[in-house]
Structure 1
Amino acid sequence: MTKRILIVRTSSLGDLVHMLPAVSDIAAHVPDASIDWVVEEGFAEIPSWHPAVHEVIPVAHRRWRKHWWSADTRAERAALRRKLGEREYDMVLDMQALMKSVWLVRQARGPRHGLDLRSAREPLASFFYDVKHKVKFWQPAVTRQRELAAAALGYTYEGEPDFGLESITDGVEIEPYSVIMPSASRDDKLWPEEDWQRVFAHLNKHGLELRLLSGNPAETARAHALVAGNARAHVLPRMSLTEVARVLAGARIMVGLDSGLTHLSAGLGRPTIGIYKASTPVRTPLEGPAYTASLGERGNAPSAETVLSAIEQALDFDDTAHADLAGGNLAN
């Protein structure tokens, strides 16, 4: 009998990537599960990549809050309420544990599961769940999500996280370029220009083109300034998340600040170096099937030498992995 599950996890980009292995676990342990996922409209592509997700239900909270009481916003909120209420779920699972996610959970029909008072980021949220689960707070985000899903659905997961991103990675060939994410939403996350220049020169020395990502006009201007005069570098145009994911999937290596796209690169199985300066990697380290390095911590950015050393290890890992794969193909 089909078990209908509604997942509420609306944002942000990195948090949604961290959620994907829990969806893979559910699909593996509850083979009759039909999973719907409520997500912020700007990130709706992410759950659509996972083959176990039946329906993606977009919410526009970020846009609505600017004009909460306008006629258009009220109409869209009413449509979402009808959408959430039209199906009876066997479980409504809040994977965010915030008051903004509780607002959505309360509109859905079915037993409400979430984190308990001591586990939730916003403890007040726990009072609105029918069933509450304890998950240790100071763990990597991927682990927390996997543990909450396992506790709610009554199974024990094992093995390395499976991000379920074959729809992006299948058929993609690795090409001689690196992807760089040098910008962030906050200035205190930025890394010195002279350190980036050393990284760029090192990657170029390895025969790798530089492809820089940016999210808004200010970030685009910063990216152009960083690679001015470098004939083997260019700033990518604005793309959809799926298009960006495919660029990441084909890269030899990715080096970026702590951002959602850096976490996506790791989840896609590409060697990825994350530079942490205003946050700690204890709860949000890079995780994925290839080489990853989460360097630095809040108030203590990694040195250029540390990043260059990690790049060498990442490229060596990738060379070894490709050699092993080629050897396996020859053996067959």
Structure 2
Amino acid sequence: MRVLIVKTSSLGDLIHTFPAINDAVAALPGTEFHWLVEEAFVQVPGWHPAVSKTLPIGLRRWRRNWRAAWKKGQIRQFRDTLRQDEYDLVIDAQGLLKSALPARLARGPVAGYDRHSLREPLASFFYQQRHAVSRQLHAVERIRRLFALALEYPLPATPAESGLQTARGERERSLVFLHSTTWPSKHWPLPWWRELTGLATQAGYRVLFPWYEPEERLRAEEIISRAGAGELMPRMDLNGLKDQLERTSGVVGVDTGLAHLAAALNTPAVTLYGPTEESLTGAMGKHQQNLVVDFPCAPCLRRECSYPEESPVQPACFQTLPPVLVWTALQKQMTPA
């Protein structure tokens, strides 16, 4: 059986799909998986050993100038590449119009969520199979259920496993602090990062700060300058970041895709949740602890903090997750059972 997975972005959403692939491989040995993914994340699907082919799509790039993409033949070339293989089933695990449309272009019947299970109900119009899956479930469990329904195997009762192959060995005495994310409201306050860097350095750890975009580098450099400690990592692609997350002793991160990658690799980690719903998208894996703010307006699900009162830090809700609490939680995860 050959199955095409359509899950185009973002990094955390892709990581959430791995356990469903693991389930399917166990239930249906020999199933071949291809994966349609946004070109910025083309390295990710191949991390799972059951994915034999990755098909990049340039939606983000095309949106900047659809006309130019059409005139240059980029969309036609993508369609021709997509239709080279025939599929027994196409599973749209994203459930958005941007994923449903290319899923329908593929050569095979399309399965996805029913209209009541989608944020964009119109996407279900493009599916031949429609499955009801509660939107109140964690994202990982939603995708596991969708795969089980679409491929007709019993949903496993076992905990989710990413199935990622990792290089085992002694971890280096370093920590990675994942300080960057897309929403301003999800950023842990800079004074808290400075204090946490000091605690980790005093305990004998190298503290590493990754970055990719220029503003991420500036934030990392400001934390390092304020703390008088820490190291700026070189700019890395996703494969390089994955390798570093495998080697490090522990991770502290905000709600960002790399935190979900650390969890999938079972690297000891603490992930910090303020404005977002941890029960729906929290990091899952061994040696993980998700710390959730205790604040009247959380989770607000807003990109910007709108708390009107004075607060010692911004975003205001993170005053309930101070550095000592985070450091204690990380030490617990790094301590062998």
TM-score normalised per structure 2:
0.89
Q: Secondary structure of 2:19's partner? A: helix
Indicate the residue corresponding to 1:122 in structure 2: 120
CA distance in 2: counterparts of 1:77 and 1:287, whole angstroms: 36
- State the secondary structure of the residue aligned to 1:278: coil
Change (3 A) 1:305 1:123: closer
1:112 aligned to which of 110, 113, 116: 110
Within the candidate set 80, 83, 95, 1:82 is matched to 80
1:245 corresponds to 2:242: yes
Q: Which residue of 2 aligns with 1:298?
A: 299
Count of residues paired in the alignment: 317
Q: Shift of residue 307 of structure 1?
A: 5.1
Q: Are 1:67 and 1:73, in contact at CA under 8 Å, matched by a contact in 2?
A: no
The one-letter code sitting in structure 2 at the alignment partner of 1:111 is P
Q: What's the offset of the Cα at 1:203?
A: 1.4
Residue identity (%): 34
Task: Give the unaligned 5+ runs of structure 1.
Answer: 322-332
How far did residue 287 of structure 1 move?
0.4
Is the 1:274–1:293 contact (alpha carbons within 8 Å) kept by the matching residues of 2?
yes
Question: Do the aligned residues in 2 keep the contact of 1:293 with 1:310 (CA within 8 Å)?
Answer: no
Deviation at 1:229, TM superposition (A): 6.0
In structure 1, the residue matched to 2:310 is none
Counterpart AA for 1:311:
W
What is the CA–CA distance in structure 1 between the aligned matches of 2:91 and 2:157, rounded to whole Å?
21
* Matches of 1:140 and 1:240, distance apart in 2: 28
What is the aligned partner in structure 2 of residue 210 from structure 1? 207
Matched, 1:233 2:234: no
Instruction: Give the match for residue 28 of structure 1.
Output: 26
Cα distance between partner residues in 2 of 1:48 and 1:73 = 31
Whole-angstrom CA distance in 2 between matches of 1:96 and 1:71 = 23
Counterpart of 1:325 in structure 2 is: none
Aligned to 2:307: none
Question: Could you say what secondary structure the match of 1:320 adopts?
Answer: coil
The CA distance in 2 between the partners of 1:60 and 1:217, in whole Å, is: 22
Assess if the C-alpha contact under 8 Å between 2:167 and 2:246 holds in 1: no
Q: Which residue in the other structure is 2:40 paired with?
A: 42
Of residues 302-311 and 69-78 in structure 1, the stretch that sits farther from structure 2 once superposed is: 302-311
Given that 1:172 and 1:249 are in contact with CA atoms closer than 8 Å, whether structure 2 keeps it comes out as: no
Q: Structure 2: which 5+ runs fail to align?
A: 301-315
| Structural RMSD (CA) | 1.8
| In 2, Cα distance between equivalents of 1:220 and 1:9 | 29
Closer, same or farther in 2 for the Cα pair 1:15/1:71, shift >3 Å?
closer
Relative to structure 1, the CA distance from residue 283 to residue 229 in structure 2 (aligned partners, 3 Å threshold; closer, same or farther) is: closer
Q: 1:51 to 1:318 in 2, by over 3 A?
A: same
Partner of 1:328: none
1:13 is matched with which residue?
11
Structure-2 separation of matches of 1:44 and 1:318: 31
Relative to structure 2, which stretch is displaced further, 10-19 or 180-189? 180-189
Give 1:304 deviation, angstroms.
6.3
What displacement does 1:231 show? 5.4
The change in CA–CA distance for 1:238 and 1:114 in structure 2 (over 3 A counts) is: same
**Aligned-partner SS, 2:252:** strand
Q: What is the alpha-carbon distance in structure 1 between the residues aligned to residue 163 and residue 222 of structure 2? A: 36
Once the two structures are TM-superposed, the CA of residue 28 in structure 1 deviates from its matched residue by 0.9
Change (3 A) 1:27 1:186: same
- Which of 38, 61, 64 is 2:62 aligned to? 64
In 1, Cα distance between equivalents of 2:36 and 2:71: 17
Q: Give the whole-Å Cα distance in 2 for the aligned partners of 1:313 and 1:256.
A: 12
d(CA) in 2 for partners of 1:153, 1:71: 35
* Letter paired with 1:122: E
Using the TM superposition, give the Cα deviation of residue 312 of structure 1 relative to its aligned residue in structure 2, in angstroms: 2.3
- In the alignment, residue 119 of structure 2 is paired with which amino acid? R
Which sits farther off after the overlay, 294-303 or 245-254? 294-303
1:81-109 per-position Cα deviation (integer Å, ceiling 9, x unaligned): 11222222110110011001011111111
Is 2:291 aligned against 1:275? no
Instruction: Work out whether residues 185 and 275 of structure 2, in 8 Å CA contact, stay in contact via their aligned partners in 1.
Output: yes
Larger displacement relative to structure 2 (18-27 or 170-179)? 170-179
Take 1:245 and 1:304, find their aligned partners in 2: how far apart are those partners?
Answer: 30
Moved over 6 A (4+): none
Q: Distance in 1 between matches of 2:291 and 2:128?
A: 37
